[in-house]
Amino acid sequence: MEKLVISGGRALNGKIMLQGSKNSALPILAATLAVGGTSVIHNCPVLTDITAALKILEHTGCKIKREGHTVIVDSSAASRYDIPECMMREMRSSIIFLGALISRFGCAGVTPPGGCEIGLRPIDLHLSSLRRMGVDISENGGVLECRAPCGISPCHIALAFPSVGATENIMLASLRVKGETVITNAAREPEIKDLADFLKKCGARISGAGQSVIRINGVERMHSSVHSVIPDRIVASTYMACAACTGGKIAIDGICREHLLPVITVFEGAGCRIGIKNNELIINAPEKLSRIKSLRTMPYPGFPTDSQAIVTAMLATAHGTSVITEKIFENRFRHVPELIKMGADIRVEDGSVAVIEGVERLRGARVSACDLRGGSALAVAALGAEGKSVIENIHHIDRGCEAIEESFSLLGADIKRIKN
Ligand code: EPZ
């Protein structure tokens, strides 16, 4: 088990290149199986979740080549449509292979996915949508056996909630369906549009991705393509919080301004000065952060739940009382008890509202990452804290942030990864 040891209290300054988006790369990798041929995916971050996705692709019979941030997937010989439980449990995104397998083979055998324990995270919307499209789904010994004996039918799916994963699964499953599949109340996250952009390059007919109504007109044939994954808006917000928490100034290269608008407003509200030129964002922290009176996580284009933990850590030392309401997941304040060990004054009400009374300074402590973004939040808090912090269970952080110690060191942090 590895740990991060961080000596805080230094202002972080400098320039950093942003990694590609994990949550875009994962469904695109699943999509390479659906489209067939050899796909080349650039700007793919080097993360354990990506390795888990590549193992699933290999298991189905794909040939994989990974060269730095480029992944080449040759799915021509793929023939297996079952994914073993041990692979499904590695991450939540394994469920997106369900739509890809159905598109490619007309059937799939999967188990419920794993992933961060941030709430119930059911897959009912994924399954009810596929059933509506004509997929028979039965459970046998914990395995969901999915078949479309009469083919998949075009239909109108009105999602009860704009689920990112369910939208992706429907898009993938409907690629070759004869006729038009319509998703209403679709997720509008930038990662949905990135998936659609990749699929369109491969010959898919999709319109409306990034908006609430997505239309997929099935095509008979698809082909492989070359694609570059969008920048990671959540990791960008993590670097922004590094500057904010330490009173530093950081330039983040390779951002997409539009994707960051919901978080920029919040950082500006806390008193940070932000300038953007082309694809570079410069954030300059104030001497003392201001409180954010009320912040709610919402589906895009609202404030992202994935940036909530990081902003909670940032507001722990802001002037005054901030209130954050988590509206997407039921159990996404697991970083709070760890921040309290560092001296934060935060109470969580009804599991979904965090009331943060800003303290003067956090102090270093031994803490444990409970999930991916909560873990990154602890690292950010430790950078701003006085003294030494030890963060355990950092495998959670490695699922989403590429070589966090290298990036933070580049910005002047005193951070080391050590083995137990
Ligand atoms: C994606 O998860 C992201 N993961 C999450 O990022 C992100 O937090 C989330 O979208 C919301 O933006 C990936 O892209 C791999 P949802 P996903 O389906 O698709 C409920 C990270 O740290 N729901 O939009 O699982 C669900 O329980 C991760 O990178 C159902 O009730 O999110 C949740 O409360 C964490 N039934 C809400 O909807 C369903 O069938 C949003 O889930 C599906 C979802």
Which tens digits make up the pLDDT trace of 20-42? 999 999 999 999 999 999 999 99
CA-wise closest residue to 237 among 327, 312, 338, 336: 312
C-beta pairs of 155-158 under 8 Å, 24+ apart in sequence: 155/181, 155/182, 156/181, 156/182, 156/184, 157/129, 157/132, 157/133, 157/181, 157/182, 157/183, 157/184, 158/184, 158/185
Angle formed by the axes of helices 233-246 and 308-315, nearest 10° = 10
| Cα separation of the two ends of the chain | 6
Q: What distance in angstroms lies between residue 288's CA and the mean position of ligand 1's atoms?
A: 34
Q: Which atom of ligand 1 is nearest to the CA of 162?
A: 24
| Final residue of a structural domain among 228, 252, 282 | 228
Q: What distance in angstroms lies between residue 80's CA and the mean position of ligand 1's atoms?
A: 27
Q: What distance in angstroms lies between residue 121's CA and the mean position of ligand 1's atoms?
A: 7
Active site residue: 44, 62, 116, 272, which one? 116
Asked if residue 244 and residue 169 are part of one domain, the reply reads no
Q: Is the CB of 309 under 6 A from ligand 1?
A: no
Q: What is the CATH number of the domain that holds 116?
A: 3.65.10.10
Nearest residue by C-alpha to atom 17 in ligand 1:
165
Determine the residue type at 144: L
Asked if residue 62 and residue 30 are part of one domain, the reply reads yes
Nearest residue by C-alpha to atom 7 in ligand 1:
306
Instruction: Report the DSSP beta bridge partners of residue 356.
Output: 322, 346
Asked if residue 255 and residue 137 are part of one domain, the reply reads no
Asked if residue 389 and residue 288 are part of one domain, the reply reads yes
Q: Is the CB of 113 under 6 A from ligand 1?
A: no
Asked if residue 268 and residue 145 are part of one domain, the reply reads no
86 assigned to active site: no
Q: How does pLDDT run along the chain (420 residues), one tens digit per residue?
A: 899 999 999 999 999 999 999 999 999 999 999 999 999 999 999 999 999 999 999 999 999 999 999 999 999 999 999 999 999 999 999 999 999 999 999 999 999 998 777 777 889 999 999 999 999 999 998 899 999 988 899 999 999 999 999 999 999 999 999 999 999 999 999 999 999 999 999 999 999 999 999 999 999 999 989 999 999 999 999 999 999 999 999 999 999 999 999 999 999 999 999 999 999 999 999 999 999 999 999 999 999 999 999 999 999 999 999 999 999 999 999 999 999 999 999 999 999 999 999 999 999 999 999 999 999 999 999 999 999 999 999 999 999 999 999 999 999 999 999 987
Mutation choice for ligand 1 from 163, 235, 263, CB with most ligand atoms inside 8 A: 163
CA atoms of 92 and 82, how far apart (whole Å): 16
pLDDT per residue as tens digits for the range 150-160: 889 999 999 99
Asked if residue 223 and residue 304 are part of one domain, the reply reads no
Scanning the structure block, which residue is given the tokens 């800003």? 358
Q: What distance in angstroms lies between residue 305's CA and the mean position of ligand 1's atoms?
A: 9
Asked if residue 344 and residue 205 are part of one domain, the reply reads no
Asked if residue 187 and residue 57 are part of one domain, the reply reads yes
| Final residue of a structural domain among 228, 262, 285 | 228
Scanning the structure block, which residue is given the tokens 């992944």? 71
Q: Is the CB of 307 under 6 A from ligand 1?
A: no
Asked if residue 245 and residue 220 are part of one domain, the reply reads no
| Final residue of a structural domain among 172, 205, 228 | 228
The whole domain housing 62 covers 22-228
CA atoms of 62 and 325, how far apart (whole Å): 42
Nearest residue by C-alpha to atom 14 in ligand 1:
23
CA atoms of 174 and 164, how far apart (whole Å): 16
Nearest residue by C-alpha to atom 10 in ligand 1:
164
- Name the domain count of the chain: 2
Q: C-alpha angle 80/83/233, rounded to 5°?
A: 115
Asked if residue 207 and residue 334 are part of one domain, the reply reads no
pLDDT attached to residue 118 = 72
Asked if residue 172 and residue 244 are part of one domain, the reply reads no
